[in-house]
Every structure is written in C-alpha cells, then in structure tokens.
Amino acid sequence: MIDIPESAITETFLAASGPGGQNVNKVATAVQMRVNVYALGLQPYAFRKLKTLAGRKMTSGGELVLTVREYRTREANRGEARRRVADMIEQAYQRDARRIKTRPSRAAKARRVDSKKKKATIKKTRGKPSLD
C-alpha cells in the first residue's frame, strides 16, 4: 500500500445523506478528502495515468477530490477514502503493455476486397426485375 504524506492531504467532514436516523442530521460523518498530487512526487507516466483514472475527480490545480459517505462513522469513511486514493495511485504505477502495431497482409486485403465484391453482386441482384 502506498504511503501518502499527511502534508498532501486536506480533509473536511460533511453531513452525510442516507440511513442513520437522527444521527445523520446531527453528525458530519462523510469525508471529502483533497490530495495534492504534485506533493506526492509521482513519476511522469504515473501522473498522466492517474489523471486519466481520476477523470473529473482531478482538478486543474492538481488536487484529487474524493467524497466518501459509505459508512456511519468518520473514522471508517476516512479510512475508506485513504484506501481509495492509495489504490488509485497503485493502479497509476502499473504500466500498460506496449501495443505492437500490425498491418494486414496482402492476402488478407485481397480476401476482404473479394468478400466485399461478392456481397455487392448479391445485393445488386436483389432489385426489382426489369420488364425488358
């Protein structure tokens, strides 16, 4: 698991929606975690991949914003948010396999063209018969 420095994290607690009775109205248990991605010192490829993984959760200022309101306690939501951020960073460090460009062979191109011609002739014969 990735260790995220405390200096890079900002947490605010919000009133959560959902089940919980009167406790929901009284206690702010949902957590909104903001992680300064620049402070993490990620490799350039990992930063690019994290940006694509995060999508709308990443701000233009380089902050990753996660809101967790899954559990009824602050501590559980806090732990879940930290786990999600760590998982996302671990995923960003996994490199994708490089794609090897391939080109269709001349025979494959010829087969494709032949099948297209065959289909075209079949479709041509489907028309209404002429009265000549």
The whole-angstrom separation of Cα 29 and Cα 13 is 6
Q: What is the pLDDT of residue 28?
A: 77
pLDDT tens-place string over residues 51-60 = 888 888 888 8
Lowest mean pLDDT among 18-27, 38-47, 73-82: 18-27
Q: Does domain 6-93 have CATH number 3.30.160.20?
A: yes
pTM of the model: 0.64
Whole-number Å distance between alpha carbons of 48 and 53: 9
Task: Extract the tokens encoding 119.
Answer: 């289909």
The predicted structure's pLDDT at residue 92: 85
Q: Residues of the chain with pLDDT > 90: what percent?
A: 17
Tell me what pLDDT residue 63 has. Answer: 84
pLDDT of 33 reads: 86
Closest of 116, 112, 30 to residue 77, by C-alpha: 30
